[in-house]
């Protein structure tokens, strides 16, 4: 029976393991998400203790947080309204000399010098938000894991 269970596990995990790489958190999050999805499903379908459904709900929150971390859309979410207001950034460059170029970033809705100052000010404020949001998701994920993981057995 253990051999059959092992073969089933190998088959389930094949694409996760095949695509695993060592170089960043994305791959760790993929592995953790897959494991928690498996546990959540089993707690919901086969859980025998009284709070199995409640524990599965906590696992689901972790899976949703991992989904957000894997998708890594923090920049897009933060800057969406900024670009709706000012227009998508357009990039150009001009040569300063043989070795240096200057990058120019413009937005179609930035018309006056006052607009440019306001857009820059808003942009600088927004630049810190994606990291804060991502960090908040990581902290919440590991707080949930730390608080609950030792009780996730059936």
Between CA 26 and CA 89 the distance in angstroms is 27
Q: Domain limits of the chain? A: 2-151
Q: Is residue 122 within 8 Å of 107, Cβ to Cβ?
A: no
Cα separation, 55 vs 77, in Å, equals 30
| pLDDT greater than 90 at residue 1 | no
pLDDT digits (tens, 9 = 90+) for 60-99: 999 999 999 999 999 999 999 999 999 999 999 999 998 9
Q: Per-residue confidence at 113, pLDDT binned at 50, 70, 90?
A: very high
Mean pLDDT of 12-25: 94
Residue range 26-53, pLDDT digits in tens: 999 999 999 999 999 999 999 888 889 9
Contact, 59 vs 43, CB < 8 A? yes
For 46-76, b/e burial (b = at least 16 CB within 10 A) is ebeeeebeebbebbbebbebbebbeeeebee
Residue 67 dihedral angles phi and psi, to the nearest 5°: -55, -45
For the entire predicted model, the pTM comes to 0.85
Residue 90: per-residue pLDDT:
96
Fill in the DSSP letter of residue 20: -
- Which residue carries 């006056």 as its tokens? 112
- The stretches of the chain forming alpha helices (DSSP H) are 2-18, 25-46, 52-71, 74-86, 113-127, 129-148
């Amino acid at each position: 029976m253990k051999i059959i269970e092992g073969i089933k596990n190998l088959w389930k995990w094949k694409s996760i393991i095949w695509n695993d790489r060592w170089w960043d958190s994305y791959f760790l999050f993929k592995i953790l998400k897959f494991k928690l999805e498996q546990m959540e499903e089993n707690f919901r379908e086969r859980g025998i203790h009284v709070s199995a459904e409640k524990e599965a709900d906590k696992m689901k929150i972790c899976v949703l947080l991992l989904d957000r971390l894997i998708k890594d859309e923090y920049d897009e979410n933060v800057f969406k309204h900024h670009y709706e207001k000012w227009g998508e950034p357009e990039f150009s460059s001009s040569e300063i000399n043989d070795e240096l170029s200057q990058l120019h970033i413009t937005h179609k809705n930035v018309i006056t010098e006052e607009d440019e100052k306001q857009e820059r000010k808003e942009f600088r404020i927004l630049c810190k938000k994606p990291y804060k949001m991502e960090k908040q998701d990581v902290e919440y994920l590991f707080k949930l894991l730390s608080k609950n993981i030792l009780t996730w057995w059936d």
